[in-house]
Amino acid sequence: MANISEEQKKHIDRKIKEGNLNEFGDSKDTVYAGGTPLFNMMTGQTKDRYEYVLGKHPDWKI
């Protein structure tokens, strides 16, 4: 897991709010298999929410 600073987390949360997005940085009407994009049902692994968001929105990295 990447070491994401509190400042970076606040920046991501602010961008999500400004964009009127869901907590994962996607459109509010996005539906996920299994209820979350953070859990990979094939591998059983869970991804950090902030890592997931930065993977979708690399331009949000500060």
Task: Give the tens place of pLDDT for each residue, 5-44.
Answer: 999 999 999 999 999 999 999 999 999 988 899 998 899 9
Asked whether the whole model's pTM tops 0.85, one would answer: yes
Please give the structure tokens belonging to residue 61: 């990295």
Task: Give the tens place of pLDDT for each residue, 2-12.
Answer: 689 999 999 99
Structural domain boundaries in the chain: 6-60
Amino acid at 18: E
SS3 of the chain: helix, strand, coil, percent, to 5 = 45, 5, 50
